[in-house]
Chains A and B, each alone.
Chain A
């Protein structure tokens, strides 16, 4: 399905000169468009490819040789039929009637062939462009699970997915998005598990995408998200085929976009942020421990600096006297108010983090060392920053690394909580948490509450919320039995 069809299309005329010029003109003289005229018998034909997008060996062995060496005496009657029968027997060749369709196929890495006297071009799937091989996940590391991640190529990704779910019920629908980019996009689901209503809703939203270019899954994500201003997204992102497959098994819908290893999953619930692949591969009690740990890390990463500021400024009586004395002694020696100190250090931490992310890996370590030495040691020694504050920052930073998927909202909320804590103490912090709770609870992506299955409480789904039931106890093959996606 290509939703970017143009009203006025240019049909092939059967005159090789006119048709080949039309195809060339469609590319505006691009240097990488290769157009070769060869003779098939006595009939002139044109082949078109984009340099670097096709497999050269396949072209020579499968097209050039058969045309010029094996069938040199072919007459010009029913040429397209002969080409289809003789070249690449068994592959899915397509007949194209318009110049626009031919141009699109050439862009996709296909070889398009136009023969004189024929009003249809023939397209061969001979893609063979350089691509990254399957590698380890970069953002979702694990201990015992598969060590492969999606790649930038959508066809490789379908293979990875098919290898996880060997069932004909795995349906993968192909669409093209982006008027200019014509990005291949796949909608994946298990036909026996997905809700038709959910699928229709997602398809309708995707159909509404009217962008010029889709250069990554992030372009599609806002269209799938519930339209509301919120910190949390209800569209999941994963680069792991096993995570993707497990989500499909629960009746969700996955979207793979060509050009990015990050696939999208809808609907995605808040509790999913705290689940990891290893939870399903380790013992249930350890999985429970890890999930609680991640939730605690989320709370620490977002609210600890703000709470610390609030306690120091408004509620020192909370802390035991000995601890509070140590904190007061340390903070009283620094020149800045504690709220400014907290804001500044966290801002610097984000700078160091961003630098570590963007800089070449070879100098990444240098950034870490400079960050640690300058901010950590020198600033404390110079009396610019209190040591307790540095401990809080370190704990916050480590905690936020545990919940990588929530880094974006947590980083912003952290600054918000520092400001609230600095101005209104714990009162404001609690109100902030209340607002965050309301924000989480107010969304129902595709009719499923974002806060489910905790609130509303779904008893059947509790086999995989905080505690994961032992595999031997799960009789039904569907892991989450109570949630209907």
Chain B
């Protein structure tokens, strides 16, 4: 029997942190359709609240399921239902992984290799992620705990080096467009937090208090986001409103000693973090799929999932505009709400009714 690797709550925290930072700060929709950078800072407060609501739902479902994943809880209802849920979550992770690869390639093609053919780069990234996902959650968790320290230190370093450029006047005016766009943007950001969905699946793989870890992750990330957005708004002002790679913009402005810009150092770390995110999502899609196909070997399932991710990438990475439309689409909101709240609540409710009936 295959040994089920487990990771500590801190390692899980690191994976989620890297994944979220990459997802949020690699690519941000131009604020022309949303908010000026000053108002984005306020957004983090409702974001924390919305994410805490979804976290509460996730924790409630996990608590009711015991230490099982949501797929195992669905399998308790019926085998076929369990299989359907496992396939649904696998597809969901493949989709999010494909979007992550597209987002990542958009960043790479813009800042690192503006004139190069990127299919090769994508294939290399997916091959590396495929290998990493085969190594399992332990390898990904351990690597990400090291990387999170490096990333944290480099973000702090960049924030310090750009602090000379900070202007308080850039933070004003606030609430220029009222509260509704802020709430809409907050919902947009919250419903891209695929990490909350991953907790539903990875719960049995985590040692320690997963509920406390998830809550602290949401709050910590909220604070970190606020800090980055304040510095971004204070340093870039209106220029920052149109930047689709916000953190990268900061690194371009940053200077240290003889180094006129620090973007390549940051891009390097960004590549590592993106690699971890894609590996984690491929691992999860493979893990979910194998819950319904117990006899299936890891390698072919993982390969199929990686090919699926490549397919989503091909579909979603046509142009910046088409990618923006896909990312901002209402379908993304629905996908998140169904995966993170509706389906887990439904499974929990059915299990609850079944238990009551049998009692």
Contact = CB atoms under 8 A, between A and B. Distances in A.
Contacts of A435: 128, 131-132
A199 B261 CA distance: 53
Nearest to B275: A434
A431 B122 CA distance: 11
Contact of B271 (A427, A439, A455): A427
Contacts of B108: 427
B259 interface: yes
Given A314-B113, A438-B143, A428 B124 contact: yes
A454 interface: yes
| Max count, chain B CB within 10 A of own CB: residue among A317, A434, A442, A444 | A434
B205 to A, nearest CB: 14
B54 to A, nearest CB: 28
| Max count, chain A CB within 10 A of own CB: residue among B121, B147, B269 | B121
B152 interface: no
A455 B271 CA distance: 20
Nearest to A315: B264
B136 A442 contact: yes
B191 interface: no
Nearest to B147: A437
B113 A425 contact: yes
Nearest to B265: A318
B68 interface: no
Contact of B142 (A315, A320, A431, A441): A441
A317 B112 CA distance: 11
B146 A434 contact: no
B260 A426 contact: no
| Max count, chain B CB within 10 A of own CB: residue among A317, A429, A430 | A430
A430 B141 CA distance: 18
A314 B268 CA distance: 13
B72 interface: no
A97 B275 CA distance: 65
What class of interface size applies to chain B in its complex with A? 35 or more
A433 B274 CA distance: 13
B124 A441 contact: no
A442 B259 contact: no
A299 to B, nearest CB: 12
B271 A438 contact: no
B154 interface: no
B148 to A, nearest CB: 10
Contact of A317 (B125, B145, B261): B261
A407 to B, nearest CB: 24
B97 interface: no
Given A317-B264, A431-B124, A431-B271, A438 B112 contact: no
Contacts, number: 94
B172 interface: no
Contacts of B145: 455-457
B281 to A, nearest CB: 15
Contact of B124 (A320, A424, A449, A457): A424
A457 B141 CA distance: 12
Contacts of A442: 135-136, 138-139, 142
B125 A431 contact: yes
B258 interface: yes
B272 interface: yes
A425 B136 CA distance: 27
Interface in B140-161: 140-143, 145-147
A95 to B, nearest CB: 48
Nearest to B268: A430
Contacts of A457: 10, 145
A455 B142 contact: yes
A438 B139 contact: yes
B359 interface: no
B142 A456 contact: yes
B309 interface: no
A123 interface: no
Nearest to B5: A444
Contacts of B120: 424
A326 to B, nearest CB: 14
Contacts of A431: 124-125, 128, 271-272, 275
Contacts of A437: 143, 146-147, 272
B146 to A, nearest CB: 5
Interface string B156-186: 0000000000000000000000000000000
Interface string B102-114: 0000001000110
A451 interface: yes
A282 to B, nearest CB: 27
B11 interface: yes
A343 B128 CA distance: 23
Nearest to B125: A431
A434 B142 contact: no
B131 A438 contact: yes
B112 A426 contact: yes
Nearest to B112: A427
Given A317-B261, A317-B264, A435-B132, A427 B272 contact: no
5 contacts: A317-B261, A430-B275, A435-B131, A442-B136, A456-B145
Interface of A: 314-315, 317-318, 320, 424-431, 433-435, 437-439, 441-442, 444, 449, 451, 454-457
Given A431-B275, A434-B128, 19 more contacts: A314-B112, A317-B264, A320-B258, A425-B113, A426-B268, A426-B271, A427-B112, A437-B272, A438-B140, A438-B279, A441-B138, A441-B139, A441-B140, A442-B139, A451-B142, A454-B146, A455-B142, A455-B143, A455-B145
